[in-house]
Amino acid sequence: MSHVADVQLQVTDLAALKQSVEKMGGTFVEGQRTFKWYGRFLNDWSSSRAAVNRISPENFGKCEHAIKVPGVGYEIGVIKHPSGTGYELIFDQFGEGKKLEAWLGGENYGRVKQNYGAVVATRQLARKGYRVTTTTTPGGGIRISAIPLPT
């Protein structure tokens, strides 16, 4: 079965995405043009998370870059965002893809969204002259602290 999910995360900084994927234990494969999934669109899933709501099924399996997760046969595709600005993530969340969904942070994909956001914020603060530290809270959240560097 094919259940291609749309993570609904607009990625505008590929370097930050790569860094966050690596922090999470995955591998960002730059320039990989296809990603592994069931391989055939069956039109058998009508969730609000279904990529078919915004992306043509003829493009499933095609990508600009890919993300590999250890121990998972399917991959995550990094595709151009439908708005034309940036990228987003799609993957087949059925069967083998359940492991990808768990790695991303469950049905709301909170882990990847939080890690990507933290890397983007940390990079922007550092560019603006702050010393930045991040810590993981007991609940698994990310806390960012920024202190201005002396001028």
Residue 12: per-residue pLDDT: 96
Q: What is the mean pLDDT of the chain?
A: 94
> Using CA atoms, how far apart are residues 67 and 34, in angstroms rounded to an integer?
10
Closest CA to 100 of 71, 79, 78: 71
Residue 61: per-residue pLDDT: 96
Cβ(39)–Cβ(53) under 8 Å? no
pLDDT tens for 105-118 read 999 999 999 999 99
Residue 140: per-residue pLDDT: 85
CA distances, 149 to each of 21, 64, 132 (Å): 28, 38, 10
pLDDT tens for 21-73 read 999 999 999 999 999 999 999 888 888 889 998 889 999 999 999 999 999 99
User: Which pTM was predicted?
Assistant: 0.92
CA distances, 112 to each of 46, 59, 63, 126, 131 (Å): 23, 23, 18, 21, 24
pLDDT at 151 over 80: no
